[in-house]
Structure 1
Amino acid sequence: MPSVASEWQRSIDTSWSGNATQAELIVDPASGARFVHARFDGSAAPQITLVSGFETRNRTIDWAQPAPATEDPAVLTAALAPSANKPLQGVVTQTAQKITAGAGSDVEKVRAIYAWIVANCYRNLDTPGCGLGDTVATLTSAGLGGKCADLNGLFVALSRASGVPARDLYGVRVAPSAFGYKQLGAGSADISKAQHCRAEVFLLDYGWVAMDPADVLKVMRAESETWIRDPADPLVAEVNRALLGNWEGNWVAYNSAEDVALPGAGRRLPFLMYPQGVLGGARLNELDPKAFGYTITAQAL
């Protein structure tokens, strides 16, 4: 359910229906993330339909036109804090210090981190879903490979460790890409497997700025039959430049929540981007829509 309020995304309405014994809208007190929690009595096959309307648009930046920006200090504090997936110590801080050595401003630090991820990380096609987002594992056991939750999550963690407020936004692609890349958009109205997270950083002279190095790596690895290793390759260069500060409006963000406590879950989720369910005491596999029994669709109105 879209819950991110900003100049580039606006929620219009939300409604739900089905045979739930109880259904309620819950707001996570720590992050403001909204979700519907439904319970079923087992007398019939559980069914719930959630409909959300929203408007979104492209985000662009003119790096040549800085303007001092302000933000609620509490928001910036949260965007600098560690989480279970983003501990700001050990290998994370050590890596951030190496990458940003010699960088003076927040812009220089962010550019260095973005360039380092594009040059050194890669999209691992075997990673389930969008990845676990475990920053330490991405830097160590995963060998710098993963998917968007891993790679953009790493960008966010390295930015925080460098003193730059940053956050992941978790959502889903809802339309094709204007770039023409099949990998960067929804290929059909069925978006059940189109989840994608993006990143933002808060820069003193620009405010919240869009970032998505993970999608650059997706183009490099999956757009063509050949794995492109050079970000200056003609197929990659345009999107590499664009995703440092810009986003397409073909995607909608749900929330930026981390370490989310869901009712009855028994554990905290590192992030909330997929439907979650428990049936007969067993958790359903959120990465398998067919086995779980959910479908997500999108249409333009």
Structure 2
Amino acid sequence: MQRRRFLSLSASLGACALPVCASSTSLIPTVAHAAPASAISTVPATPNAADGWRTFELTTQVDLPAGNGPANVWLPVATTPSGAYQTALGTHWDAPGARAELRMVRGASGIGVPLLAVAWPQSASQAPRTVTLTNTFATRDRRVDLSQPPSDNAPRESAAVLRQYLQPTELQPTDGLVRETAEKITLGHKGDVEKARAIYQWIVDNCRREGSVRGCGTGDVRYMLTTGDLAGKCADINALFTALARSVGIPARDAYGVRVATSRHGFNSLGKAGDVTRAQHCRAEFYAAGYGWVPVDPADVRKVVLEEVPGGLPLDDLRVRAARAMLFGQWEMNWVAFNHGADIALPGAQAGAKGAVPFLMYPNGELAHARLDSLDPDTFRYRMNAREITA
């Protein structure tokens, strides 16, 4: 059995999410030539539960059908983003008969996206092809107090990183109708916080969650604004926030991840534990001097409207108003972040299956040079399970 392990994955996605070598393949050296188990470094101590930290284990298992053609799988991994709300404690995997390694790929504007790349070569063997990836991480609820004036002691981001999060992506342009819309929304508002708040409130008021949309949506902002169809799911609604903010000079980014626990804040619709195969969720955040990165999630406000109770809730319901107030400046961390990347070319994709994916939040794969459907886990044959680790 071939086994590769890499522990202490603690990347900062703000600048360079993982150390990479100078070669064009951007391999992570300690992974490409993994040490034997006896030489693996010790996992850092778990953050203290008394300080609000919770520890989780997220396991993803992919089972491809037996065959002798080549196959590839790409899986997102948990990291340590900028901000003290999530810490990666360890990553390990098992992929018999495959070459498996952590890779750093660069999406739009050079934003790093770490992933596990697994490749089975063409072979005469008919053995099933399986990979099991386990991420261990700790999270704690995140809150930026916007009722206080900006502080010189607030976390700061480098100018180079902020420039990255002002750039357009394939599905999130920042010119034309996007900028015109944002300028109308923010007219008369002063400062990045108030402009971002105006965009957030406009999205909550004008967008709607559409349950028939597959997965989390695509985040095609131009389509939404051109057609006037402001319906979708989290990758659509929060992408709209990101693009509108960037278009008026506010650094903003999407955060792609998955829910890992039920909500402790009383929201039935904003959590999932156990089988989280279909619990992917995209969030957003913007940067304001004197506050640092500020978490927001207008898409989850609309999720509360649609799904909190059968038949939905009106915008003026107390539960919706509570979610609306909370999700401008706060995230409940019953969710794990994978990355902030966009327009990601999957390394090693074969002929006929090339082309960037708009984001990496789901398992991706190809079989005999044909891309598998990431939004159909039953046919693709993958499962994701989350559990909280208690002392």
Confirm or deny a common fold (TM above 0.5): yes
Which of 108, 112, 134 aligns to 1:32? It is 112
- How far has the Cα of 1:4 moved from its partner? 3.8
8 Å CA contact 1:20, 1:48 repeated in 2: no
Write out aligned runs for 1:34-53 (5 A).
34-41=114-121, 42=123, 43=125, 44-53=127-136
8 Å CA contact 2:98, 2:118 repeated in 1: yes
Question: 3-state DSSP class of the match of 2:311?
Answer: coil
8 Å CA contact 1:172, 1:251 repeated in 2: yes
Which of 88, 96, 119 aligns to 2:182? It is 96
| Aligned: 1:157 with 2:243 | yes
Question: 3-state DSSP class of the match of 1:112?
Answer: helix
- How far has the Cα of 1:117 moved from its partner? 0.3
8 Å CA contact 1:4, 1:255 repeated in 2: no
- 2:221: which partner in 1? 135
Distance 1:138 1:193 in 2: 24
- 1:289: which partner in 2? 377
Distance 1:142 1:291 in 2: 34
Residue type matched to 1:32 in 2? G
Which is further off, 43-52 or 17-26? 17-26
8 Å CA contact 1:20, 1:38 repeated in 2: no
Distance 2:371 2:268 in 1: 32
Distance 1:127 1:134 in 2: 13
Distance 2:207 2:178 in 1: 14
TM-score (norm 2): 0.74
- What are the Cα deviations for residues 93-137 of structure 1, in whole angstroms up to 9, with x where unaligned? 111011001111101101100000000000011110000111111
Question: 3-state DSSP class of the match of 1:37?
Answer: strand
Residue type matched to 1:25 in 2? L
Write out aligned runs for 1:54-69 (5 A).
54-65=137-148, 66-68=150-152, 69=154
- What are the Cα deviations for residues 74-95 of structure 1, in whole angstroms up to 9, with x where unaligned? 1100110100011111111111
Residue type matched to 1:173 in 2? R
Distance 1:256 1:63 in 2: 23
Distance 1:149 1:31 in 2: 18
8 Å CA contact 2:314, 2:320 repeated in 1: no
The higher radius of gyration belongs to 2
Which is further off, 79-88 or 13-22? 13-22
* Runs of 4 or more consecutive aligned structure 1 residues displaced over 6 Å after TM superposition: none
Structure with the higher strand share, 1 or 2: 2
Distance 1:11 1:256 in 2: 16
- 2:200: which partner in 1? 114
Question: 3-state DSSP class of the match of 1:168?
Answer: strand
Question: 3-state DSSP class of the match of 2:262?
Answer: coil
- How far has the Cα of 1:27 moved from its partner? 0.7
Alpha-carbon RMSD: 1.3
Write out aligned runs for 1:100-249 (5 A).
100-141=186-227, 143-186=229-272, 188-230=273-315, 232-249=316-333
8 Å CA contact 1:181, 1:219 repeated in 2: yes
- 2:355: which partner in 1? 267
Distance 1:229 1:136 in 2: 28
Assess, with a 3 A threshold, how the Cα gap between structure 1 residues 135 and 275 changes in structure 2: closer, same or farther. Answer: same
- The unaligned stretches of length 5 or more in structure 1 are none
- How far has the Cα of 1:295 moved from its partner? 0.5
8 Å CA contact 1:173, 1:194 repeated in 2: yes
- How far has the Cα of 1:142 moved from its partner? 6.2
- 2:81: which partner in 1? 5
8 Å CA contact 1:189, 1:299 repeated in 2: yes
Distance 2:227 2:367 in 1: 33
- The unaligned stretches of length 5 or more in structure 2 are 1-76
Residue type matched to 1:35 in 2? L
Residue type matched to 1:226 in 2? G
TM-score (norm 1): 0.96
Distance 1:24 1:134 in 2: 31
Query: Taking every aligned residue pair, what percent have the same amino acid on both sides?
Result: 45
Which of 252, 257, 279 aligns to 2:367? It is 279
